[in-house]
Amino acid sequence: MPRVIDIPPELAASQEKFNKEAGRAFIAGLPEQSARFIDHWDLRPDGPPMHGVCALVLPVVRADGTPAVLKLQILDEESEGEPVALRAWNGDGAVRLLDHDEPTGTMLLERLDETRMLSHVPDAHQAVLTIAGLLAHLTSFPAPPGMRRLGDIAGGMLDRTPWALARITDPESRRLVADCAAALREVADEPGDRLLHWDLHDENVLASDRAPWLAIDPKPLAGDPGFDLWPALDNRYDPDDILWRFDAMTDILALDRPRAHAWTLARLLQNTLWDIKDGHPVDDAQLEIARRLRPRGR
């Protein structure tokens, strides 16, 4: 089958870094896989490839002339839920799923305007309010059956917390991470059942002709909407803006503030566990977000 794409070297590097042998195999198979789905869905390539950390995105045109994008990515526990969530939202606040190949996770999506990304909006407050409005709508949907569940993720995090704390050498950082685990324990028995995006930052919001802003690239799970606030707190990091952002988002989403506080601190615990597993120090900026929020409990 002829080669129809050039693989962006940045995508190859990120797959090597994060997925090792599986990532190398994925990259090696992309030319054939993309050609197969271009033929299968009767598509015409329509521009240079785009990519994120994990996925290759090819602009295409369907047989009826409709612009679309072909998204190819490794199928894992995060990506396998993406088409399920997109079907549930059905284009209402999120990019529309046009077709999907379940065995490979390959998706055909409506084409949004990649030149108009929320990260290009200079007003950080406006960007946060836009994300909050999208989250309020997206999390109003109940999670479909079979979705990854926040309760399971929370239990796993708490099980690994003693291991992580033993590897944090700075006493103040260790106390802060322990406080985050304590906050999570208070809400873990009521993890929620809403459809969460999990990764709604300002580079995962694009404009389109049919809506001012739409969400892309969910890593969905079923849970409490308070677990969805972290990316907008971390975006365009400004420690003096954290409390404003938290208050604005919890107001727009109509969240119980102590619960949202606990689930937000749980995101620091999640990130800390990943950092320590990968041999990295705990990120100072993320610690500062939790530090600023810590007095905001009950």
* Contact assessment for residue 71 and residue 111, using Cβ atoms and an 8 Å cutoff: no
- Over the Cα atoms of the chain, what is R_g? 20
- Any alpha helices (H) in 169-238, and if so which ranges? 171-187, 230-234
> Which tokens hold the place of 247?
């208050």
Q: How far apart are CA 33 and CA 202, in angstroms?
A: 30
Active site residue 199: yes
Q: Chain centroid to CA 255: how far?
A: 20
Chain CA centroid to CA 152, Å:
18
Q: Using an 8 Å Cβ cutoff, are 131 and 118 in contact? A: yes
Q: Active-site residue among 199, 241, 275, 283?
A: 199
CA nearest 105: which of 172, 22, 182? 22
| DSSP reduced 3-state for 233 | helix
Of the candidates 66, 28, 68, the residue with the CA atom closest to the CA atom of residue 47: 68
Both structure tokens of 59? 């602009």
CA distance 84 to 102: 10
Identify the residue whose tokens are 């305007």.
113
Q: How many other C-beta atoms can be found within 10 angstroms of the C-beta atom of residue 144? A: 14
Token pair in block for residue 240: 């003096």
Round to whole Å and give the CA distance between 85 and 81.
Answer: 6
Give the residue numbers marked as catalytic.
199
